[in-house]
Structure 1
């Protein structure tokens, strides 16, 4: 993989812009489902998943926020910042990690990486982006799990970051980081499956060109597979990041191992999967949108910033397709 620039845009810049755009669009579309998922994750009672999702949705639109739209989009600012920064960093470092692996292993430019290579690149980029964005996710979880009308609830991202630093110190920004790092396996499983499905599809079509439908199918199958296997870490993380907005001082909850045992004793196996249904409703279309925006933006940027002669030298793709 080369580091050729496209009239001022390096491959790294293209990956970052594409990832940032993808994160923004997908987050705005599915944010209400994120609220429902978070409310179910922090609920310690036992409810059928589908009925709970409906109950939470009805409660939000009836009792929270000055308007229904405001209630459904509470916490959008940290979600936008976190997802956009997270995807941008992830795609940037994912590209850089693949380049580093190719260089270290002496691969030819067109040689395909192995599953282990993709797993390594995805894990490394996932760990780095998770550490840097964790403070944003703490604020997001706390905003999505509380009503704007509750005493002590964070009104926005900056206020939340300041409140955490004041009451909990720097350590407060990293609540839930341990399960988040365990959750890197989700990204690793997802990207490995995604890359392999894309490669299989290219071979079956005998073409290096994939359609938008191919991208949707590959991302949906990969996300469902990885999301179901690794979902419990999301629930554990959410519970470690919550707080009592009415408390004067922060009261630390149980540690990771104690919390896992507590969920098992009080809620059983189903307790680890609360919110799975709205999460799949959220992440599958979100991932489809993310990768459609990402792949198309990555394809379009070099052409937008190329001159006419360069564009003429590029073999045009069929409508609705791009060279991946």
Structure 2
């Protein structure tokens, strides 16, 4: 059923909350909930991405899960690295949607048209937001990758975010926190393509539904899944390159982005760039759907709940 709630005209007009705050809270909430739902898939995907073996086989994901459960402390081991993953996702989505909403507003103002954005506009807004987010959050992803790629008892493994941060600073300095940044910046194209597709699909979909407020949760699930699959099919290899550069022994194995690409292609072939794609698809579709579902609903209801609260408080 469409959501029926008193409309708030304009971009959250009259709600008493700033648009930036609403975007940040919506993104932060989406990041936390989606991470809790799909973190085990992220562990499996990371283990596959950093595996340098020359071949990948059907059933590798199941094998990794069994090994983790049997050798690393049971099912709880599937949630190793949950905290940096949760921090990274919640902060990333909060910053991303904050900048994305503001940049879209700036583009509308610059164009002198408050209602219409083109595919290029959406691509530009999401790309710029992605670059800013990547620069701010890359250190979190380095810690997260190193925790997810090893068992807790492995030699040199990080025990916590604090211990990992301290060790990384002492041993590798500031440069260590920005390992994999280049492929991460390339990966911004993934988000730009995804959001461009999502926004245009939402525009067309809402037209047939009589407005965005008439879109249902099922609509958001379908739109987010379709846009994610489209973007993922184009840009997945950068994630493999980034993960290889962020591992503990990256310095002894790779000389940089080009060397990673060369070695993967020579030793593992083209399919080496798609290692972990299976669990990644299983992971990102639920994650993306949950993220956009929570984001859209939080953005829709938060100003209305706040407005209702202010009205009740005013009556009292």
Q: 1:142 aligns with which of 146, 150, 175?
A: 146
Q: 1:212 aligns to what?
A: 217
Quick check: 1:6 aligned with 2:15? yes
Distance in 2 of aligned mates of 1:59 and 1:293: 33
* Structure 2 partner of 1:44: 52
1:254-269 map, 5 Å: 254-269=255-270
Shift of 1:2: 5.3
C-alpha deviation, 1:59, in angstroms: 0.6
**Paired position in structure 1 for 2:304:** 303
Greater shift, 47-56 or 30-39, is seen at 47-56
Residue equivalent to 1:129: 133
2:234 is aligned to 229
Matched residues in 2 for 1:101 and 1:52: separation? 46
**Structure 2 alignment gaps of length 5 or more:** 1-9
- Counterpart of 1:29 (choices 15, 37, 44) is 37
Where in structure 2 are the equivalents of 1:180-259 lying within 5 Å?
180-208=184-212, 209-244=214-249, 251=252, 253-259=254-260
> Is the 1:49–1:275 contact (alpha carbons within 8 Å) kept by the matching residues of 2?
no
2:107 is aligned to: 101
**3-state SS of paired residue (1:46):** coil
**Matched residue SS, 2:254:** coil
Query: Is the CA contact (8 Å cut-off) linking 1:127 and 1:181 kept in structure 2?
Result: yes
* Greater mean alpha carbon deviation, residues 262-271 or residues 150-159: 150-159
Q: Please state if 1:179 is matched with 2:180.
A: no
- Alignment partner, residue 275 of structure 1: 276
- Aligned counterpart in structure 1 of residue 79 of structure 2, from 73, 93, 97: 73
Counterpart contact for 1:177–1:237, Cα < 8 Å? yes
5+ residue gaps, structure 1: 312-324
CA distance in 2, matches of 1:164, 1:203: 51
SS at match of 1:169: helix
Candidates 45, 70, 92, aligned match of 1:62: 70
Q: TM-score, normalised by structure 2?
A: 0.92
Shift in CA distance, 5/134, structure 1 to aligned 2, threshold 3 Å: farther
SS in 1 for 2:59: helix
Alpha carbons 2:12, 2:303 under 8 Å: kept: no
Q: Give CA deviations for 1:264-318 in whole Å, capped at 9, x if unaligned.
A: 000000100000000000000001001111111111111111137979xxxxxxx
User: Over residues 127-178 of structure 1, what are the superposed CA-to-partner deviations in whole Å (9 max), with x where a residue is unaligned?
Assistant: 0000100000000000000000112100111111111100000010000000
In 2 relative to 1, CA 266–198 (structure 1 residues): closer, same or farther, beyond 3 Å?
same
Tell me the CA shift for residue 253 of structure 1.
Answer: 2.9
In 1, distance between residues paired with 2:224 and 2:54?
32
* 8 A Cα contact 1:50 1:277, kept in partner: no
Distance 1:307 1:24 in 2: 26
CA RMSD of aligned residues (A): 1.8
